[in-house]
Structure 1
């Protein structure tokens, strides 16, 4: 089994935030750093061999907490050369609340520097040059200001033309969009630029009306994705590639402590296996196994 013939460099694009996660004592919270594409980058760094590099593209402030975030990324082995520093912005914050293992979030992100991560096309082109994989999500798209989304799309087209693989998790979050139609239109526009799409069926059924995971997979394949992997909570995972679908049994989870980053960690486990030459079935099992481990712990990032 050999690694796939692409450059061993991944760049993840999105918003890293301060995370306040429930602690063990009542009404206590612990502070960390997280965010959907950061979570995937963090787990990818642990899932991939040392010969691979994992970079993060975003924007942060110049204040102390932004510097602390950069130090956290560096200590985690994630490259920070493509994080812009904006003196008039800072990093966003979110707080997790839990009930029976399911999470809800409160956000403070109005002054998030990451909203301007895609305003400089030349910086995007430099970051994407030589990358084997570019990873982004629907949240990446949702937070961008001004013409950022169009600028990012143009840079992705250039990167794909140069041989880069674009991986997209739709990660549908309607609160970040003006309305559901705007969200769905933007997600499908981005999906048309992706080689691999990693949706979650529950979200897709809610917002696109998909009757089953097969409908979700077919819609993204029709948009142009060569590989679609449909996550399905505790149910079977569906893959669709080259017109061939397959069902994969989930990993049994005995106890859910915190479902934060379940999908993000699945994506990392799946990609870490798939990019290093494992077949679809083994890659899905790697993703499901990592997600099962993560939701047995509090917070987005766990050992």
Structure 2
């Protein structure tokens, strides 16, 4: 099996919780790309994480967590700024995020920091998420994308609180469409699609993104499942029924599962192949939703099989 390179942010989530009637914030390691890297590694994929981690105590905890999860650190650079915090509040199981820390500790990867031979040799290269809103990471991501030798996968992971006005949203739309145009796989949520295009129809968003040049598009729709569009057709796949307690990282677990399947089985040649990959990914996400907290909720193959059987 080959390997994947995951570029993007790692940070600390402070998750709203209740303890004996008092509101507290529980610390958890997160960041969408970190969740993807951990999810793919726990499912058996070889993954190298590329990004910046603080030299502070929280950065040390993130680095140790990545090592324990089996994620490689060949692309990591340490930076002397405080670790970014994402304060996470909930409406039901759905999280909302507010970010603290300037400059963001996750945004400082430069093009000069990239291991180009590692990127060129990777079977899968992933990037996306809030790190693209800032330089120098944005330039590094563009160069990594151009250097990538294998399958390119992208997730915009839109965060409304980081988009102060219509101009910021328009600029983000232009940016993510630049990556959509040359992606082999785009994964986004229906909420992302609504924010980017003002349309709640996942099929319309998928068609628009495929028309830009993307090979396949997966639009996750929460408990409704996911819409999958490929060159030879599209389908809506149902999500397994679960008792969700925390959806933090659920979308990231879909991407992590897809990365793991791309590493083990390769790029599907048809919609049927994508349906198999996405059905597995939705089962992984269902299991994540039954557990508290982002990256720590990412399951192993044995846990997936124990919950759902062979998929």
TM-score (norm 1): 0.86
Matches within 5 A, 1:64-213: 64-87=57-80, 89-117=81-109, 119-121=110-112, 123-142=114-133, 144-146=134-136, 148-159=137-148, 163-177=149-163, 179-210=168-199, 212-213=201-202
The match for 2:204 is 215
Instruction: Check the 8 A contact 1:57/1:127 in 2, yes or no.
Output: no
SS in structure 2 of the partner of residue 202 of structure 1: helix
Runs of 4+ in 1 over 4 A off after TM superposition: none
Contact residue 97 and residue 105 of structure 1 kept, 8 A: yes
Matches of 2:126 and 2:56, distance apart in 1: 27
Structure 1 or 2: larger helix share?
2
Which residue is equivalent to 1:247? 236
Deviates more, 1:225-234 or 1:277-286: 277-286
Give structure 2 stretches of 5+ with no counterpart: 300-311
Q: Bigger CA drift: 62-71 or 78-87?
A: 62-71
SS in 1 for 2:141: helix
Q: Which has the higher strand share?
A: 2
Q: Is the 8 A contact 2:111 2:139 kept in 1?
A: no
Aligned 8 A contact 1:229 1:237 in 2: yes
Structure 1: distance between partners of 2:218 and 2:196: 18
Distance (whole Å) between structure 2 residues aligned to residue 63 and residue 236 of structure 1 = 39
Distance in 1 (CA, whole Å) between partners of 2:86 and 2:57 is 18
5+ residue gaps, structure 1, are 1-6
CA RMSD of aligned residues (A): 2.1
Quote the offset at 1:246 in angstroms: 2.2
